[in-house]
Amino acid sequence: MTPIRFFNRRTGSLETERVYGDFWLRLLYGPLPARPVLHAVAKRAFFSRWYGRRMKQPASRRRIAPFIAKFGLDCGEFADPPPSFATFNDFFIRRLKPEARPVDPRPHVAVFPCDGRHLGFPEAARVDAAFVKGQHFDLEALLGSPELARRHARGPLVLSRLSPADCHRFHFPADGVPSDPVFLNGFLFSVSPYALRRNLAYLWQNKRFLTKLRTERFGTVLMVEIGATNVGSVRQTHQPGQPARKGSEKGYFEFGGSALITLFEPGAVSLAADLLEHSANQTELYAPSGTPMAE
């Protein structure tokens, strides 16, 4: 399978991703048909709950130091030191120091809601070639609403993919008032490029939460948090109906890789030039939360 390459905005270079669970992802989503039993088990919620519980056991703590070393994480960014984490999941949902992720203060700028590898598209209705040409992107299925799909079909869309090595706290991209998150049930397929190259539909077949963020400057912004294999759960920590500041925490993913989609109304923003440039070449852009996504 082709290695996962992305452009790192921080370093200004093209890099190859070190993939957690690479062997199993290649086995499940590689060029040969996935092993039927293994594939059927991996997509089910009970498997992710079982694995999530393992990551909450005290014995999982021994995984923390090797994980930090393998992925070269900067412990100086952590709000709490590694010895303070009682389990691997405690480490996985770690908070970062505010100064590690400064939020762009300019009011005309919308920021990335999470650390991750991002793809941006000027029109949500034209995301078909995100990973493999010929796949159809079903916006109505993703949002669970024909009305919302029609309203946002011609507006920009950003797909943010979080690898297990990323901080899994996610935040608001702009000042606004969030609605109650709507839960849309589904499976828990992987959302790694290995999997999405095989079937883009995993994005709207998986369990997900949809929130409407009503803003003065950008209209209504939709945020869709997507669960994936081994994601124990998606936790919402914000207060629906209460004003939220740009960059403030919205929630977090428990153990596993996951994804978040941000959609804007037509004409509300123009996506960042580097995001559009690399996405046009089917290359993800790595950028941390709080940095410019659109304006």
Catalytic sites, residue numbers = 115, 171, 258
Phi, psi of 40 (to 5 degrees): -65, -35
Nearest alpha carbon to residue 248 among 195, 167, 169, 186? 169
H-helix segments, 14-145: 22-29, 36-42, 45-54, 64-71, 88-92, 139-143
d(CA 196, CA 173) in angstroms, rounded, equals 25
Return the bridge partners of 161, or none.
117, 259
d(CA 264, CA 287) in angstroms, rounded, equals 19
Q: For residue 159, give the 3-state DSSP assignment.
A: strand
Q: What is the DSSP letter of 244?
A: B
Q: What is the DSSP letter of 234?
A: E
